[in-house]
Amino acid sequence: MAHTLSVATLNVNGMRDHRKRSRIFQYCKSMEVDCVCLQETHILEEDVPLWAYEWGGELHASFGSSSSCGTVILLSARQAGCATRVETDHEGRLVCILFKYPQGNIAICNVYAPNRPSARRDFFNTLPSFVPGSAPCVMVGDFNCVPDSGLDRLGTSVSASPDAGITELDRFTSAHLLADVWRHMHPCSTVYTWVRPNGEDASRIDRVYAPTYLDEKYHGARVRARVEAVEAEERPSLRFYQSVSSSAGDRRVPSVALLMGPCLGTPWIPNKRPITLLNVDYKLLAKALCNRLALAMPHLVGDLQTCAVKGHCIQQNLWLMRDLTDFVIERDLPCALVSLDQQKAFDMVDRGFLMNVLETFQLHPFRKWISVLYQESFSSVIVNGFCSEVFNVERGVAGCPLSPLLYVLFSESLSRLLERDSRLVPFVVPGGAKVKCAQYADDVTCVVSSLGSFRALSQDLSIFERATGAKLNPEKTKGLRLGSWRYRDLPFGASWSDQNIKINGIWFGYDAPCDVTWSERAEVFERTRNLWHPLAFDLGKVTVINRFVSPILWYPGAVYQFRVASWCGWRGRFFIHMVWWYRACQEGGIVPKTGEGGTRGGSSGK
């Protein structure tokens, strides 16, 4: 099968800001192309290691200054090792890469032409020295001139002669048999790639040039594909899937690859979070099994496990913790909360133990389907575009739709172990209910009300670790001493506090936990506001608020009273500005005047 190489081009107008750079890289990855050509990046030579790490693949650049020029070519992991020759200029305006494939070679040239006419002529005259003449060339970029001012330019210069340098560029494209791809497909259409903010000037200065003979091959391939489809009676065969994907891949179901994705924190291997990539067949089967298992989850796990169980809500445990701490503090009872932290919880699940759990729950047919997905699975790690050797995966359930449900069943073994231990004295809440622990997936909060229970808890956790392969992290296990135990040393290895403890993102304890929680929410709100507020878009504002902004308020608002005073200032104005600002300015306010059916007084419109 012939090799496919997809190319995209974009003028980014500077990307030294790490937030903008991150969004550009994410956008480039979402396009799923092999080669992304960026112009005007303002990259410096010392930026290459960091930018390549953020991109996650090969990066080739021609360096300009921190405020101008800088051309970059980003290569996907599929093109690792295919770039055999890289040519760059010394002004940050050109990067040319020669790719070598079994079917032949091809060159990709990324261009950012100067603005000054004389410099642009000289630049185009130097192109032949960078582009190899032995291989076909695809040239993309920002050329800062147009071949036809009547079709490709809008504004005061529409009647002027062709832009300076276009003659030199035409000479080069003719010598290499290159054609303007978009103009070749749309001879009389008008479109612009650059528009001045006031809308008065626009031009099509960003273009793609490709060899003219590729058009003939393209039409020939389309004809052959039509014939083959008719002969196959329009059946979606392997050839069909190969035509829509650059790689058909292994057709076995448990085909899984792992990437070490970047995360916050120090550059330390345990701080890296693995990301699992699954094929479509795997996802469909896992989703179907997930939907079936979800129906049985309320009958299999306890009431205090609130993750991935229909009818259970995380706020139920938060309400319990809030009322319990208030009750203990008011009555000065002996009590302690222990928040357990498990190292890489989803990744440490022993699959043999998981199968035994499913068998204990009498899920015999379901267990066989899980075995199809998890037994004899294998994976590999991609680091900086290089793929490791395949290795067998014996632990972990992260990365598929079944992950939360399977882990909840796995974690239920700990809950039942604690419930059946008579040495662990439960805390009796008003109404008679007995509480030993509350869970949300791997977040386990134990309620201890007797000194002897600490020894029982330590022994039960040790049994759980040996049986399941799970590993508790003593350094991140937190504890809160309450009531008469507030200033007492307790016999359990945890980071003890006599003030507050954070459980599932909400603070509980003595030191104004409501105010501390809302203060943290305010910081998160500020970061979210800074991310979305500068974007001037009209569509999707309600979606942005509902999906990214409102949850910051609704989650703690279900536990603690909303602090109106601290949120009615600029944070409240943010909602008004984002949703109604432009219309309010045009129509004189959000509330209409009384003469127009509203309640706002006054006769002036603005």
What average pLDDT does this structure show over 139-161? 78
Neighbours of 339 (CB within 10 A): 22
CA distance 349 to 361: 17
**pLDDT at residue 227 above 60?**
no
Of 167 and 279, the structure prediction assigns the larger pLDDT to 167
CA atoms within 13 A on the CB side of 416: 12
pLDDT given for residue 3 in this prediction: 66
**pLDDT at residue 599 above 50?**
no
Of 149 and 510, the structure prediction assigns the larger pLDDT to 510
In the chain, the percentage of residues whose pLDDT exceeds 70 is 76
pLDDT given for residue 235 in this prediction: 45
CA-derived radius of gyration, the chain: 31
State the pairing for strand pair 35-39/7-11.
parallel
CA distance 183 to 172: 17
CA 530 from centroid of its chain's CA atoms = 18
Contacts 24+ apart (CB under 8 A), 74-77: 74/25, 74/28, 74/35, 74/36, 74/37, 74/38, 75/34, 75/35, 75/385, 76/32, 76/33, 76/34, 76/35, 77/382, 77/385, 77/387
CA distance 58 to 77: 8
pLDDT given for residue 549 in this prediction: 76
Of 30 and 396, the structure prediction assigns the larger pLDDT to 30
| 488-537 pLDDT, tens digit each | 999 888 999 999 999 999 999 998 899 888 888 888 877 777 776 655 45
CA distance 423 to 426: 9
**pLDDT at residue 327 above 50?**
yes
DSSP summary character for residue 591: S
In the chain, the percentage of residues whose pLDDT exceeds 90 is 37
pLDDT given for residue 48 in this prediction: 93
- Please report the DSSP string for 358-386 in residue order: HHHTT-HHHHHHHHHHHTT-EE-EEETTE
Distances (CA, A) of 36 to 45, 140, 426, 440, 502: 19, 10, 60, 42, 44
Comparing CA positions, the residue from 44, 18, 59, 163 lying closest to residue 384 is: 59
pLDDT given for residue 131 in this prediction: 86
The residues that bridge with 447 in the sheet, in sequence order, are 337
What average pLDDT does this structure show over 97-121? 90
What average pLDDT does this structure show over 253-275? 50
CA distance 448 to 474: 17
- Please report the DSSP string for 289-334 in residue order: HHHHHHHHHHHHS-TTB-SS-TT--HHHHHHHHHHHHHHHHHHT--
Lowest mean pLDDT among 15-19, 32-36, 294-298, 466-470: 466-470
**pLDDT at residue 281 above 90?**
no
Lowest mean pLDDT among 253-262, 341-350, 380-389, 546-555: 253-262
What average pLDDT does this structure show over 400-424? 90
CA angle 310, 427, 480 (to 5 degrees): 90
CA distance 392 to 398: 15
* Band of pLDDT at residue 133, cut at 50, 70 and 90: confident
| 365-379 pLDDT, tens digit each | 888 888 888 777 777
**pLDDT at residue 448 above 70?**
yes
Q: Is 393 exposed, middle or buried (0-12, 13-18, 19+ CB in 10 A)?
A: middle
Range among 155-159, 177-181, 343-347 with highest mean pLDDT value? 177-181
Lowest mean pLDDT among 261-275, 300-314, 502-516: 261-275
What average pLDDT does this structure show over 416-424? 93
- Please report the DSSP string for 272-288 in residue order: -EEEEEE-HHHHHHHHH
Comparing CA positions, the residue from 51, 58, 45, 50 lying closest to residue 12 is: 51
Q: Is 80 exposed, middle or buried (0-12, 13-18, 19+ CB in 10 A)?
A: middle
CA distance 528 to 522: 10
Q: Are 295 and 311 in contact (CB under 8 A)?
A: no
> Mean pLDDT in the chain?
80
CA distance 24 to 30: 10
CA 321 from centroid of its chain's CA atoms = 32
Q: For residue 252, what are the contacts with CB-CB under 8 A and spacing of at least 6? A: none
**pLDDT at residue 252 above 70?**
no
Of 271 and 606, the structure prediction assigns the larger pLDDT to 271
pLDDT given for residue 486 in this prediction: 93
pLDDT given for residue 206 in this prediction: 94
CA distance 585 to 140: 42
Range among 75-79, 244-248, 275-279, 574-578 with highest mean pLDDT value? 75-79
**pLDDT at residue 352 above 90?**
no
Instruction: Convert 225-260 into a string of H (helix), E (strand) and C (coil).
Output: HHHHHHHCCCCCCHHHHHHHCCCCCCCCCCEEEEEE
What average pLDDT does this structure show over 386-394? 77
CA distance 351 to 556: 36
Residues in the chain: 606
Of 535 and 30, the structure prediction assigns the larger pLDDT to 30
CA 479 from centroid of its chain's CA atoms = 33
CA distance 519 to 376: 48
Which two tokens mark 18? 């790490």
Comparing CA positions, the residue from 293, 317, 308 lying closest to residue 444 is: 317
**pLDDT at residue 458 above 90?**
yes
Distances (CA, A) of 253 to 162, 281, 371: 58, 6, 12
